[in-house]
Amino acid sequence: MIRTPVTLFALLAATGAASACKCAVVPRAQAIGSAPVVFEGRIVNVQTQGAAQVTTLTVLRPLKGAAKGQTVKVTSRTQSAACGYDFRKAEKTLMVGGARAGAGVVSVRRCTMVNLNP
């Protein structure tokens, strides 16, 4: 199945937050161990539509589930209360950790991202 940014935005928009997101601070090694995909990446593009966001990154240093030089699309909500991570406010190069959401797509949550990027 081919996913486009519009499809990803629709998927994110349909997922609402029932309550505020609270994150436990865990060691970076634990955050890396619990995420299926982890890599250091450079932000190439950030597309935001409402509270949904698709960020394109280039993998600089893969740790798990990615290859060096690979282009990865990362989906997230923009609101921290909805456990989102707003890439517009992030450093250009950062650690990314999340779950696979399709071919070349990773879904991230605020808690993992905050623990990877203290």
Shortest CA distance to 39 belongs to which of 84, 86, 73, 3?
73
DSSP label at 68? T
CATH architecture of 20-116: Beta Barrel (2.40)
User: What is the per-residue pLDDT across 44-81, written as a single tens digit (0 to 9) for each?
Assistant: 999 999 999 999 999 999 999 999 999 999 999 999 89
Q: How far is 65 from 4, CA to CA, in rounded Å?
A: 21
Q: Does the pTM exceed 0.85? A: no
